Amino acid sequence: MSRPNILVVDDDPAVGALLAETATASGYTTVVVTDGTAALERIRSGEFALVLTDVRMPGLDGIELLRRIKAFAPEVEVIVVTAAPDIDRARDMIRLGASDFLTKPFRLEEVRASVTRAIDKYGAWRERWTQQRDLKAQVERQARQIREQLVTAQERSAALRDSLDILRAAYDATIEGLMFALDSRDRATLGHSQRVAVFSEEIAKTLAVSGPELEAIRHGAMLHDIGNIAVPDAMLQKAGRLTDDEWGVVRKHADQGYRIVQSIPSLGRAAEIVRQHHERYDGTGYPRGLSKDNISLGARIFVVADTFDAMTSERPYRQVSTYQEVCVEIARCAGTQFDPLVVEAFLRIPETSWTELRRAVELVTRQWKSAAGF
């Protein structure tokens, strides 16, 4: 966005005009309104990168305006202007999502610096959003092409089986490449989809799963978070707790992923794993609250593999757990979060096998990273 729109909200026309003049002088397009209700109407009807709002206003005050903006447009940056500096209030504003707050009387250079920081932050979000939109379009094109190719190949005679095998290999490679691209949105989880797919397959083999069902488990694990394409980065990477509205958006990713995957005929079983990967054995999961055998075996296997990977992978917010600590935790949750039979199969696999599997996936991940220029 070459000329970002800024909305100034202040019931004092002189202050509003001064803030608008300062923002306009810095090269931004500015609109001024005098109350929070009018501000919400303007935001819903137009695209704004930043809102500069006073706190004390008649009717809808600045704090409530901030809360409502973040509920339906979390990407919009908000700078709050207040005449009464207060550490507790400042903390509340930051918790609600404000990018900065200014105290009256403010200095114009402080206003300009704060506006520039907020616009830069919005610009970074806009760039990520554009990349995600392009990635989603690419996914849809690839899915359509693969679907057309598979339908054509499956209608051919046995003489074309070799060609079909090549197509399936390319199909798997396409899925792997797509999952690497999705994982790349967050460097901390790079390679996660590939690891949980391999881990899920290992547990499934221990349970004597083979053939098409084993392939469905591998594909479902690889595609489990594809629904996150529709979730804004601002929510996925939020440092603090999600609001109820944000949590509602994030929880939809399982059903959104299911709709994407089930459109490909050969991935019907995998689609169910995508939809059920947040269900719990005791029925307290989502999106449908399924329990026990009502959850597909692939999904019951996946949640154990996913927990193992999460606990044994480096994260900025948690230390890596030892293999023994993971075993204790997974065994503790048997019958509640996990299927006891799947837990028993997981515990039969020696630690050395998990180490070898992780190293193999890391080698492939490094190859992907090198090819992608990471």
Q: Tell which wins on pLDDT, 303 or 88.
A: 303
Q: Each residue of 186-197: pLDDT tens digit?
A: 554 567 888 899
Mean predicted confidence (pLDDT) in 28-52: 88
Q: Which domains does the chain have, with CATH numbers?
A: 5-122 (3.40.50.2300), 187-372 (1.10.3210.10)
pLDDT of residue 180 exceeding 90, the answer is no
Pick from 162-166, 175-179, 195-199, 368-372: least confident: 162-166
Mean pLDDT of the residues in the chain = 82
- pLDDT band for position 277 (50/70/90)? very high
- pLDDT at position 160, please? 43
Which span out of 25-29, 164-168, 341-345 was modeled with the highest average pLDDT? 341-345
* Rounded distance between C-alpha atoms, residue 8 and residue 16, angstroms: 6
Contact present, 194 and 367 (Cβ < 8 Å):
no
Q: Each residue of 298-327: pLDDT tens digit?
A: 999 999 999 999 999 876 656 889 999 999
In three-state secondary structure terms, 6 is strand
* Rounded distance between C-alpha atoms, residue 154 and residue 163, angstroms: 10
Q: How many CB atoms are located within 10 Å of the residue 66 CB?
A: 24
pLDDT of residue 368 exceeding 70, the answer is no
Q: Each residue of 201-218: pLDDT tens digit?
A: 999 999 999 999 999 999
Q: Give residues with Cβ within 8 angstroms of 33, minimum separation 6.
A: 7, 8, 9, 39, 42
- pLDDT band for position 329 (50/70/90)? very high
- pLDDT at position 167, please? 45
Q: Give residue 258's Cα distance to chain centre.
A: 15
The DSSP 8-state label assigned to residue 284 in this structure reads -
- pLDDT at position 159, please? 45
Nearest to 54 by CA among 118, 101, 96: 101
For a pLDDT cut of 90, what percent of the chain falls above it? 29
Helix (H) or strand (E) holding 103, with range, is strand 100-103
Q: Tell which wins on pLDDT, 188 or 116.
A: 116
pLDDT of residue 224 exceeding 80, the answer is yes
- pLDDT at position 163, please? 45
Helix (H) or strand (E) holding 58, with range, is none
- pLDDT at position 190, please? 61
Q: Each residue of 134-157: pLDDT tens digit?
A: 777 777 787 677 677 766 656 655
Output phi, psi for 105, to 5 deg. -75, 135
